[in-house]
Each structure stands twice: as structure tokens, then as C-alpha cells.
Amino acid sequence: MKKYLLIVLLSIACIFVTAQPRLPYFISSGMVLQQQTNANIWGWDKPGTTIKITPSWNKQTVSAKTNTDGKWIAQLPTPTAGGPYEMVISNGKAVTLNNILIGEVWLCTGQSNMEMPMKGFRSQPVIGSNDEILASKNKKIRLFTVPRLSKTEVIDTVKQSAWLEASPEAVSNFSATGYFFGKLLYNMLDVPIGLINDSYGGSTAEAWMNAETLKAYPEIKVPAKTDSIRSQSQTPTTLYNGMIHPLIGFTIKGCIWYQGESNKNAPDLYEKLFPAMVKQWRTEWGQGDFPFYYAQIAPYDYNQAPPTSFNPKTNSAYIRDAQRKSLRNIPNSGMAVLMDIGEQKSIHPMRKKEGGERLAVLALANTYGLKGFGHASPLYDSMNVNGSTANLYFSNARNGLTAFGKPLSLFELAGADKVFHTAQAIITSTGISVSAPQVRQPVAVRYAFKDFIIGDLYSNEGLPLSSFRTDDW
């Protein structure tokens, strides 16, 4: 009996010793690694084990040793864009990853408007999606979707998923905003593109943040590890724990973000939370201020109750304004304005191509240095008052502003009484002049500052102006 037990134990030990290293699902065959950098590769094995990693692009072996928790991490110098390549990872028993590309890797994250797939949600289409899906086969665009997971404590890897080459089946189920973003990058840069969709419909910003960062906001209750999760998408820290923390360290070029609808009832808090979230992610990734481009939420009729003393800012224009103001508090960022594609009856705009491509032109200009095209929407900059006229000035409008031949009808003007009146607005050589017969001494101007509204003012290149207010009322 003792002899038999010894044989069994030795057999188990042998199996453990010779088992292949365990890897996160996103470090696998078919992945895209960021070009011309030291890309992080990691996994788990028995503590004290030496792991050797040999990529085929330079055939130079890099070694790493597991720590007391069994985790190892290595940095692999990557070449310029290309592939496919192989990578051998061995602890004595090798695992071979194949069909690896080197290119540009972007994290695509947020709530349902990022999550919305190319095929659309039920009875909520994406315009032009079927033609795009049919033409989507491309071995150089790779897609990885992080499965939904809400946890009260951090985990070390995401739920099972896989890198997929762009194809009709893969693209139809992938983020439409993310795909349109990546497709334009591929068309302009002609390098492999890796897109990681890490989004959850209905999510709040605080769900994507860690407990340490949220200590600065006592009004936000962070759950204990043993607490039940009442809201899978809105409980603070839980999406960070289950969907962001496992990815931290995977080398990316930058991030695109489409979220804000679920924070619309607390715009003042969001104006603080959003930059804090970006700062936290950048700190943990350890890549400095990597590019961060985000979509301003589109106008939509939220059918909110009238403002109350508890919540006077039910108009979702306030959350758009918080996003506009966040540009100055988030270094190396850009905002895609969607004032012209909102829908009164659907929170999920059908025109996802505009959103994805507006994010892409920000990256093409600011991150990749391409020139010759408009990339940033005009932004309100300053105001001066001359008699009964308020003169407004804008940045990102070097070639002027336009309403494409239509009259401007969305400006409002108020005096010291804080009562806004519909105003006459005229495009000038330097910006916009605004006046109203009821306001002899202008104090504040607002543009398109409504829950649902379609913007009517653009840059000469057709990029819409963000709604804004000059007041802080």
C-alpha cells in the first residue's frame, strides 16, 4: 500500500513539474504585441521556476523567475510592425504561441455604447453594419473581447476568451465603435491593429476604479470583499477588479473610452472622478501618460423629472459639459464630439461609424503625427462683452466655423438675473457674436445646452462643436 501511494505521489509531482506555464488568455496565439517597445509577457508556475521565452523575430531568449506567488513577468523587445511570428515559452516543457503580429494595440472600454456590437442590439441597428461586416475579413486586424465579470476583489486573469482575426462572424459580435476606430487606423497606418474590447453596458466610472483611488470620495461606498454585488455594472471597484486589473501591464499604445451616461445625475462628481480614473490607470500601467481619447455622450431624451434641490442638474448637457472640461485635466487626451448623431428615442446612436472614426482621427493626428485633415472639434475658449453683444472665441477652428448655410438657433443669453433667452448668433471672422433684445447686459451664454438636441455649428471640416456654457450656475 505504501509503495502504491509513493508511486501516485511521484506521478502527481511529475505532472506538476512538467506542466506548461499558465498564461492569461490575452497572451496567446493570434495576439498583437505593441511594436518597437518592451512588451510585457507574464504567467504563472511553481514558485522558483525559471521560465524561458524565445520569440521568432529575434530568436533571443529572455529568462524570468517566478516569485513566491508563482507569477513571472518578462519584457520582450519588439521590432517594427510585422509578422506572423511564433513565441516559445518553456519551464522545461514548452508551449508555442503562433500567428503573433507586431503592430498597434488599443484598449477600447466604457459602457454600452462601446460594448454595442457591429450587428447592433435587438431592434437597435448600427447603420451600414451589414456591408461593413461583409467586407471585414482582414488577417491584420485582431480582436479580443474581455468577458463581463464583476468582482469584489481583484483577480489575476480575465474569463476565457481568445484573439480572433477580423472576419464577418468575429466583427459582427465586436464593438462597433472599436472596430470603426481600428479599421481607420489600419487603412491609414498600414500596420497590424490589435483591439481589446473591455466594456460593460450601464457601467459607472467608479465601477472601473480601484478602492485606493476612491478613498478620496467618501460619498462613494466601496464594497467589502464579502459583500454581495447589487449592481453588476455600477458597484464601485467591481469592474476594475474583474476586467481591468487582470489586463494591467499588457503593453498598449493607448485607450479609447465611451462612457458617461450612467453618471449623468452627478456631473460635478464625474468631473473629478473621470480624470482620477485615467490617472489611476496610467499610474498602474506604468507607461506614462499614454494617449486617452474619449467620446462625449450624444444627446438623448432621458425624460428626467424636473430639477430638484437634491439634484438640480438632471439635464444631461451637464455631464457633456463635465466631459468637455475634463480635457484640460487629462493630459494627452482628446474628445470626439457627437452632438450631431444623438437620437431622441435611443440612447445608442445608430451612427457608430462617426464616433469610431472621430476617435481615430484624434489618434492619427495627435499620436501618429499625420497631418492635412481636421481632427479635433472646435471648443469654446473665451468670451468678452461689448455693450449688449457677447463675443465668443474658439480653439480648434483655424479654418473657421460653419453652419453649412443654415441659421444658428441654439444659442441662449442671460443677464445677471440668470434667465436665459433665445439669442441671435452670427458667425464672424473671429468666432461667434451673440445678442438678444431681452438682455442688455450679457453675463452668460449657453449653446445646445439641452438634454436632447442636434447641434448646428461645426468646424469647416465638419466636426461638430460641443455644447457648452460660460456660467457655473
Residue 21 lies in a domain: no
How many residues in the chain? 473
Whether the pLDDT of residue 7 is over 80: the answer is no
pLDDT of residue 20: 87
The pLDDT-based confidence of 314 (bands split at 50, 70, 90) is confident
Residue 440 has pLDDT above 70, yes or no: yes
DSSP string, 236-281: TTHHIIIIIGGGTTS--SEEEEE--GGGTT-HHHHHHHHHHHHHHH
Give the strand pairing for 193-199 and 138-145: parallel
Residues 300, 429, single domain; the answer is no
Instruction: Kindly state whether residues 285 and 412 are assigned to the same domain.
Output: no
Render pLDDT for 139-157 as a digit per residue (tens, 0 to 9).
999 999 999 999 999 999 9
Lowest mean pLDDT among 16-20, 67-71, 102-106, 401-405: 16-20
Domain that holds residue 454: 379-469
93 pLDDT above the threshold of 60 = yes
366-402: pLDDT as tens digits:
999 999 999 999 999 999 999 999 999 999 999 999 9
Distance CA 349, CA 124 (A): 9
Q: For residue 78, what is its C-alpha cell?
A: 519588439
The total of structural domains in the chain comes to: 2
Residues 435 and 287 in one domain: no
Which of 300, 333, 366 terminates a domain? The answer is 366
Give the model confidence (pLDDT) of 26-47 as tens digits.
999 999 999 999 999 999 999 9
Q: Is the pLDDT of residue 8 over 80?
A: no
Beta carbons of 335 and 363 less than 8 angstroms apart: no
Residue 209 and residue 113 share a domain: yes
- Residue (of 213, 271, 270, 267) closest to 240 by Cα position: 213
CB 430 within 8 A of CB 444: no
User: How much is the pLDDT for 306?
Assistant: 53
| CATH code of the domain containing 135 | 3.40.50.1110
pTM of the predicted model, to two decimals?
Answer: 0.94
Q: At residue 470, does pLDDT exceed 80?
A: yes
Same domain, yes or no, for 387 and 259?
no
DSSP type of residue 436: B
User: Is pLDDT of 298 > 90?
Assistant: yes
Burial of residue 329 (number of CB atoms within 10 Å: 0-12, 13-18, 19+): middle
Q: Is residue 461 part of a domain?
A: yes
Q: At a CB cut-off of 8 Å and minimum separation 6, what does 63 contact?
A: 50, 51, 52, 53, 74
pLDDT band at 76 (very low <50, low <70, confident <90, very high): very high
Q: Among 340, 366, 392, where does a domain finish?
A: 366
pLDDT tier, 2 (very low <50, low <70, confident <90, very high otherwise) = low
Residues 6+ apart with CB under 8 A from 13: none
Q: Are residues 131 and 207 in the same domain?
A: yes
Asked whether residue 80 is assigned to any structural domain, the reply reads no
Beta bridge pairs of residue 111: none
Q: Are 151 and 275 found together in one domain?
A: yes
Position 3 in a domain: no
Other CB atoms within 10 Å distance of the CB of residue 347? 17
Which of 335, 366, 397 is where one domain is finished? 366
Q: Tell me, what's the pLDDT at 12? A: 45
Residues 354 and 387 in one domain: no
pLDDT tens by residue, 165-194:
999 999 999 999 999 999 999 999 999 999
Secondary structure class of 123 (helix, strand, coil): coil
Alpha helices of 95-193 — where are they, by DSSP H?
A: 112-115, 129-134, 168-172, 176-189
d(CA 26, CA 425): 52
Q: What is the pLDDT of residue 177?
A: 98
pLDDT given at position 303: 73
Rounded mean pLDDT, 122-129: 97
How much of the chain, in percent, has pLDDT values that exceed 90?
Answer: 93
Question: Do 164 and 313 sit in the same domain of this protein?
Answer: yes
Q: Which residues have CB under 8 Å from 435's CB, separation 6+? A: 388, 389, 390, 413, 423, 424, 442
As a whole number, the mean pLDDT across the chain is 94
**Would 95 be classed as within a structural domain?**
no
How many Å apart are CA 173 and CA 197, to the nearest integer? 11
Helices 352-366 and 176-189: angle between axes, nearest 10 degrees:
40
Say whether 35 sits in a helix, a strand or coil: coil
**Is pLDDT of 272 > 90?**
yes
45 domain-assigned: no
- Within this chain, do residues 111 and 190 fall inside the same structural domain, yes or no? yes
Please determine, for residue 304, whether its predicted confidence score (pLDDT) is greater than 60: no
- Within a domain: residue 93? no
- Work out the average pLDDT over 309-323: 81
Domain check: are 272 and 134 in the same one?
A: yes
pLDDT in tens, 201-254: 999 999 999 999 999 999 999 999 999 999 999 999 999 999 999 999 999 999
Domain assignment present for residue 176? The answer is yes
Both 389 and 354 in one domain: the answer is no
